[in-house]
């Protein structure tokens, strides 16, 4: 959905009421008291005029900038986050530290050296070792996807640079990512096994401008140690055209990277303590770390701002909700969801009433999905009714992990909610140098804040049990 639909929805606010919309839902919504309904209206109105969310992400990317997992900048971001959360009036603000093997790209360049010379725009992929000093040079061999590489005889690959030229589909729900991202982790071990010297992939992204997309874990899978990089989409086109024109295309690839054992990271936690049931936790997460080419504004400064601003509006109400709302600003999400794992280790025994995450930028929320118990439909229906004035539609009750930062918690059985943002343009920018404040639309961000404020308040102020009727088992973990 784009801006026009949202403007229309806002124009309809005066005539659409929660109760009127509820009758359109498939399941009769659980009743909501007049006090709660009035608080929801108040939260929605406040969010749609909110300047706090935009200010939070602006301050984060201005004061700190990029925040690589395990870096001094990520540590400064934790200090920044604690100070910000205390200033916003949250309680129990603290850091839960952990360490990781971190990976830092220092040099990442490439060029075509035959036929002719031309520069290529690349980004080294997570876990890539350095090339020999001065770079490596080799002939390029192109494959359409991993299956084609797997089927190739070793002799076709040995001593060459493997190039996997698989595009990513643009979709509103971001589903093109899962299919396209496999090559980012799998190219290196597969190509190395066949005797290749390096791996190049078409960036996992949908842009047509010359921005390459970073990504990947701090360590390549299966013990691989092969230099690997992503080409900006137009640069993948350059290589494909040269190869179509004739064989003997040679590339020089130069990567310098640094690995650090036991680099410091950590999760930042803050709470609105529940007034009646403080041990019942409504968990909302985003991540503090980012890749380093851009500012980490949409990934995931926006999420940090959206959930903090939403919780802050609830904190502004005359009294706290019954249950505790807990903010998790996770560290080291990018190199493998390490903050989410550390959170689960520290809080496995906590009673999580509901878990959600904001980590798909700042475009409009268009759909709500859940993984609730079979008998919790009336609660989902009541949430949808409250979200309908924001033009958010119903999705299914077959949500997977719900996000990397909450995945271990939801896999352990926490009911899960997703407010799907329009991802049509997210993967133009994701993990690139183009991830700056210029990508954030203030009005769209406000709609996100309104939606999360409504969901968090309903979950924390009611006594709804989202497990009612028993939940389907968690879906298997998805590929990052
Ligand atoms: Zn992210």
Sign of the dihedral through C-alpha 77, 82, 83, 88:
positive
- How many whole angstroms from 433 Cα to the centroid of ligand 1? 15
Omega before 300 cis (within 30°)?
Answer: yes
Sign of the dihedral through C-alpha 323, 79, 430, 406:
negative
d(CA 128, CA 88): 40
Rg (CA), the chain: 23
pLDDT confidence of residue 478: 55
Run of H or E including 251? strand 250-272
Is 350 within 8 Å of 301 (Cβ atoms)?
A: no
- How many whole angstroms from 431 Cα to the centroid of ligand 1? 9
Whose tokens are 């990513």? That residue is 168
pTM score: 0.93
How distant, in Å, are the alpha carbons of 70, 215, 361 from that of 266?
A: 9, 20, 22
- How many whole angstroms from 332 Cα to the centroid of ligand 1? 10
- How many whole angstroms from 344 Cα to the centroid of ligand 1? 18
Residues recorded for the chain: 480
- How many whole angstroms from 439 Cα to the centroid of ligand 1? 15
- How many whole angstroms from 276 Cα to the centroid of ligand 1? 33
pLDDT digits (tens, 9 = 90+) for 129-185: 999 999 999 999 999 999 999 999 999 999 999 999 999 999 999 999 988 999 999
- How many whole angstroms from 36 Cα to the centroid of ligand 1? 32
- How many whole angstroms from 454 Cα to the centroid of ligand 1? 23
Q: Mean per-residue pLDDT for 335-364? A: 97
User: Worst-scoring range by mean pLDDT, 164-178, 254-268, 286-300, 464-478?
Assistant: 464-478
- How many whole angstroms from 23 Cα to the centroid of ligand 1? 36
> How confident is residue 477, by pLDDT bands cut at 50, 70 and 90?
low
- How many whole angstroms from 452 Cα to the centroid of ligand 1? 17
- How many whole angstroms from 304 Cα to the centroid of ligand 1? 10
Quick check: 25 pLDDT over 60? no
- CA-nearest of 265, 452, 274 to 352 is 274
> How confident is residue 473, by pLDDT bands cut at 50, 70 and 90?
confident
pLDDT confidence of residue 7: 40
- How many whole angstroms from 324 Cα to the centroid of ligand 1? 25
Quick check: 443 pLDDT over 80? yes
Quick check: 17 pLDDT over 50? no
- How many whole angstroms from 302 Cα to the centroid of ligand 1? 9
pLDDT confidence of residue 476: 59
CA angle 269, 90, 43 (to 5 degrees): 110
- How many whole angstroms from 112 Cα to the centroid of ligand 1? 32
- How many whole angstroms from 429 Cα to the centroid of ligand 1? 12
Quick check: 20 pLDDT over 50? no
Give the relative orientation of helices 34-48 and 302-315 as an angle to the nearest 10 degrees.
140
pLDDT confidence of residue 475: 62
- How many whole angstroms from 280 Cα to the centroid of ligand 1? 27
The CA dihedral of 277, 280, 287, 6, to the nearest 10 degrees, is -80
Q: Mean per-residue pLDDT for 412-440? A: 97
> Strands 365-371, 416-421: parallel, antiparallel or unpaired by DSSP?
antiparallel
Mark out the alpha helices in 401-441 (DSSP H runs). 407-411, 426-429
Percent of the chain with pLDDT over 70: 93
DSSP 471: P
- Mean pLDDT taken over the chain: 93
> How confident is residue 419, by pLDDT bands cut at 50, 70 and 90?
very high
d(CA 111, CA 165): 17
Which residues does 17 contact at the CB level (< 8 Å), separation at least 6? none
- How many whole angstroms from 111 Cα to the centroid of ligand 1? 29
Percent of the chain with pLDDT over 90: 91
- How many whole angstroms from 299 Cα to the centroid of ligand 1? 4
Higher pLDDT, 148 or 8: 148
Quick check: 21 pLDDT over 90? no
pLDDT confidence of residue 78: 98
pLDDT confidence of residue 385: 97
Q: Mean per-residue pLDDT for 36-59? A: 98
């Amino acid at each position: 959905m784009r801006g026009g639909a949202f403007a229309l929805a806002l124009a309809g606010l005066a005539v659409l009421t929660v109760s009127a919309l509820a009758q359109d839902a498939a399941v009769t919504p659980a009743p909501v008291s007049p006090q709660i309904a009035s608080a929801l209206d108040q939260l929605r109105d406040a969010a749609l005029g909110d300047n706090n969310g935009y200010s939070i992400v602006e301050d984060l990317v201005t004061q700190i900038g990029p925040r690589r997992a395990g870096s001094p900048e990520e540590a400064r971001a934790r200090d920044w986050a604690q100070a910000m959360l205390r200033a916003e009036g949250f309680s129990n603000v603290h850091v839960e530290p952990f360490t990781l093997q971190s990976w830092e790209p220092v040099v990442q360049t490439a060029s075509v050296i035959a036929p002719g010379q031309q520069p290529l725009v690349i980004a080294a992929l997570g876990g890539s070792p350095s090339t020999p000093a001065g770079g490596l040079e080799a002939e390029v061999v192109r494959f359409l996807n991993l299956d084609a590489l797997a089927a190739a005889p070793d002799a076709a690959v040995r001593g060459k640079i493997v190039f996997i030229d698989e595009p990513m589909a643009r979709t509103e729900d971001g589903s093109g990512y899962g299919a396209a991202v496999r090559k980012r982790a799998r190219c290196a071990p597969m190509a190395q096994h066949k005797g290749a010297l390096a791996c190049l992939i078409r960036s996992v992204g949908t842009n047509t401008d010359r921005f390459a997309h970073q990504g990947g874990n701090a360590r390549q899978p299966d013990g691989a140690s092969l230099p690997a990089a992503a080409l900006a989409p137009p640069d993948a086109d350059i290589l494909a055209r040269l190869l179509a024109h004739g064989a003997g295309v040679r590339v020089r690839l130069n990567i310098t990277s640094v690995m650090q054992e036991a680099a410091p990271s950590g999760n930042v936690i803050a709470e609105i303590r529940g007034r009646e049931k403080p041990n019942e936790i409504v968990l909302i997460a985003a991540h503090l770390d980012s890749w380093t080419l851009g500012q980490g504004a949409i990934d995931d400064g926006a999420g940090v701002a959206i959930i903090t601003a939403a919780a802050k509006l609830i904190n502004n109400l005359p009294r706290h909700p019954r249950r505790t709302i807990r903010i998790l600003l996770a560290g080291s999400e990018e190199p493998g969801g390490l903050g989410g794992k550390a959170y689960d280790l520290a809080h496995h025994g906590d009673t999580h009433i509901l878990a959600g995450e904001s980590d798909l930028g700042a475009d409009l929320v268009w759909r709500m999905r859940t993984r609730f118990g079979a008998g919790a439909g009336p609660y989902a229906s009541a949430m949808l009714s409250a979200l309908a004035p924001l033009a958010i539609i119903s999705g299914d009750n077959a949500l997977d992990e719900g996000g990397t930062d909450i995945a271990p918690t939801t896999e352990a059985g926490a009911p899960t909610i997703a407010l799907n943002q329009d991802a049509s343009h997210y993967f133009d920018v994701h993990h690139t140098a183009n991830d700056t404040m210029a990508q954030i639309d203030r009005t769209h961000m406000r709609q996100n804040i309104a939606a999360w404020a409504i969901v968090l308040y309903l979950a924390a102020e009611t006594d709804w049990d989202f497990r009612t009727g028993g939940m389907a088992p968690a879906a298997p973990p998805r590929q990052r």
